[in-house]
Structure 1
Amino acid sequence: MARMALAGVGHWHAGMHLEAARSAGAEVVAAWDPEPDVAAGFAAAHGVPHHLSVAAVIAAKPDLTVVMGRPDQVPALALACIEAGLPIVLEKPAVVSTAALEPLVEAALGLFVAVPLPNRCGPIWAEIEALKAAGRLGPVSHAQFRIVNGPPERYRLDGVPWVLDPAIGGGGALRNLGIHGIDAALALAGGADLTIVSAAVDRRLYGEAVEEYAIVTLRAPDGMIATVEAGYTYASMAPGGDFEWRVSARNATLIDRGDACRVATLDDGQVRDLAPIPPADRYKAFMADTLDRLARGTAPSVGIGDYLQAMRLIDRAYQEVA
């Protein structure tokens, strides 16, 4: 059984990581936060050991440590774990700027650092790889990645108002949510650099310092066009929001709406439903995949280098609308 630690449990994803760890059969052996009362409350609520310092977490020698928290505090925590040689999951946003991420990338060379972009565990990705392997996908023409959640007030209700402060969070909906779509576009392009065709942001509805909606159009060297939409403009606080991933290739169209997933293939005239993985369960899929890769000694599905590439592309998008 893998032994895991959760460092920075004041993050709004801490409960999801705990649930995902237990779903994957891991034991959480340490919980810590820079706010002792937050850590103690989380530990008591979930029945996990409470540690008083980062040093104590490191001394527990967990097999995997989830590092999360305020982006202006996470780099020091991540670096301490990296220097101790601990495999980590680096929750985003992990830094206030791309420049602050670069030293962590250098320090982590040769170490296992996974970044939770769990939509990469959605069902269309395995299907894309299977179609590629069978020679049945064809060139990708275009893709659309949309993730629009509820109003920004949700972050204040979650006790993480810093998400709405660009000096801490590093941006708004594009940086926080759009990174999922940016990473997806980069993955489709095989990691090739993407050109920004256009970018636009809006912040009219709620008067926040960060953008509440962003749309970016990208082009790959092979001509593929990808559109990324991210927002805090869905008119509900309920989980789920407006989510849709679409990939259109010469021989296949794949559509993932979270609670439903479908693939159409031209050569055999078939339209098939794939078993969906609801967005709320994708952290479980991510954790199971991450622990499996760690046990096998292989690289994470999304590593810190992938995170850096996505952050740099988002920087360029922001420059387009400056």
Structure 2
Amino acid sequence: MKKVALIDTAHWHVPLYIDALEKSGVEIIGISDPTDTTGPALARKFGTACFATCEQLLAHERPELAFVFGRHIDMPRTANLLLDHGVPFAMEKPCGIRAADVQQLALKAAQKQAFVAIPFVFRLSDTMKVIQGGEDPVRVDHASFRFIAGPPSRYLRAGNPWMLERDIAGGGPLINVGVHMIDLFQTLSCSKIVAVSAFSTALINNLSIEDFITVALQCASGAIGTIECGYTFPSASGQQREFTFSVRAGNHFFRSADKGIEVIRDGVNGIEHEFVPAEFETDLYYADFVRHVLKALQDDSLAIADFRDAAAVLQLVEAAYKSASEGGRTIQLSH
């Protein structure tokens, strides 16, 4: 039975992991929660101890795996601590608020040959499988993704007010939900992104983070991606967000539809249409991520994403924020 620790549990994604962890049969041997909000209840649920800090937990317990949450600004310090203690772990994105910090973690993890997993869950999604499907996956030519999440007030309700503070969260919807779209496009394009431009607004809620941002990404291959994300979807019963996309890849065109993906392609007898059922509720993929992490660790195989992937995405987030702050100026990237 794998001995697992839950680190800095005052995070709105923690409930998405709990059911899968319970069903997996792991033993939760310790929980840390500096805020003393969610940790005590989780400790009672799993019959374990709750510690004020990750340091205290590691002083008393020796986990074989940790799932790490917490504030974005605190993530590099926690990651360094776990790497120094030789504890394999999965850490919520974005893993920090500066690409340089995550790049340092990537180097350190590589030197230690450490197991680190980052939940870029679209890599496990139906969307990725359908677009990359077939015997001969084709390279994406252009793609557009739109992910509009609920209003900032949902983070207040979840007990995470720090998510609305740029100095602690690193930004708003782009660094929180947009990272998934950036990773998805970069993975599908099979090419380095060489230029970024962006426009954003903070006029709706007058917070230090953006309410809405639109980002254009250009690849060395010539592929172009556009991403729109925001905290502007109304609080509606039964609806959390808007997620839509369209992707051109070779002679295939993919676009989101109700409960699935429409695939349009040039066939031998003309244009062919196919509807493929797909699950777009991203929350459901975190259970898949938990199962993936446990199996990858057991099999000594690679995680779906690691600090190198997180650093690459965060570099693009930084470039987008820089462009937006400078009126949309195109930022050229060197790799």
TM-score (norm 1): 0.89
Write out per-residue CA displacement over residues 77-115 of structure 1, whole angstroms, 9 at most, x where no aligned residue.
221111111111111243232233233222211211111
Preserved CA contact (<8 Å) 1:148 1:232: yes
CA contact (8 A) 2:141 2:189 kept: no
Q: What does the per-residue CA deviation read over 1:134-167, in whole Å, with 9 as the maximum and x for residues that have no partner?
A: 22x4342211222111111111111111111111
Q: Deviations over 1:47-93 (max 9, x none)?
A: 34223253564454333211111123222222111111111111124
Over 3 Å counting, the alpha-carbon distance change for 1:270 and 1:60 in structure 2 is farther
Change beyond 3 A, Cα 1:21–1:263:
farther
The code of the aligned residue for 2:107 comes to E
2:42 paired residue number: 42
Q: CA RMSD in A?
A: 2.3
Shift in Å, 1:256: 4.5
1:267/1:318 CA distance change after superposition, 3 Å: same
Instruction: Tell me how far 1:25 sits from its aligned partner.
Output: 4.8
Q: Which moved more, 1:186-195 or 1:116-125?
A: 186-195
Question: CA offsets per residue over residues 212-260 of structure 1, 9 Å max, x none?
Answer: 1011011111111111111001112555310124322123233346943
Inter-partner Cα distance in structure 2 for 1:252 and 1:295: 37
* Aligned length in residues: 317
Distance of 1:248 and 1:18 partners within structure 2 = 37
Match for residue 304 of structure 2 among 283, 301, 304: 301
Distance 2:165 2:278 in 1: 38
Do the aligned partners of 1:147 and 1:231 also contact (CA within 8 Å) in 2? yes
After TM superposition, what 4+ stretches of structure 1 lie above 6 angstroms from structure 2? Answer: none
In structure 2, runs of 5+ residues without a counterpart are 326-335
Change (3 A) 1:243 1:258: farther
**Percentage identity across aligned positions?**
27
Write the distance in 1 (CA, Å) between the matches of 2:39 and 2:155: 19
| Equivalent residue number for residue 65 of structure 1 | 66
Alpha-carbon distance in 2 for matches of 1:8, 1:310: 23
Alpha-carbon distance in structure 2 between the residues aligned to 1:138 and 1:93: 28
Q: Distance in 2 between matches of 1:256 and 1:286?
A: 23
Question: Which runs of 5 or more structure 1 residues have no equivalent in the other structure?
Answer: none
Q: Does 1:271 align with 2:274?
A: yes
Q: What is the Cα deviation at residue 200 of structure 1?
A: 0.6
1:119 corresponds in structure 2 to: 122
Structure 1 residue 290 displacement after superposition? 2.2
In structure 2, do the counterparts of structure 1 residues 28 and 260 end up closer, same or farther at CA, with 3 Å as the change threshold?
Answer: farther
Contact 1:121 1:286 survives alignment (8 Å): yes
Taking structure 2 as the reference length, the TM-score comes to 0.86
The secondary structure found in structure 2 opposite 1:101 is: helix
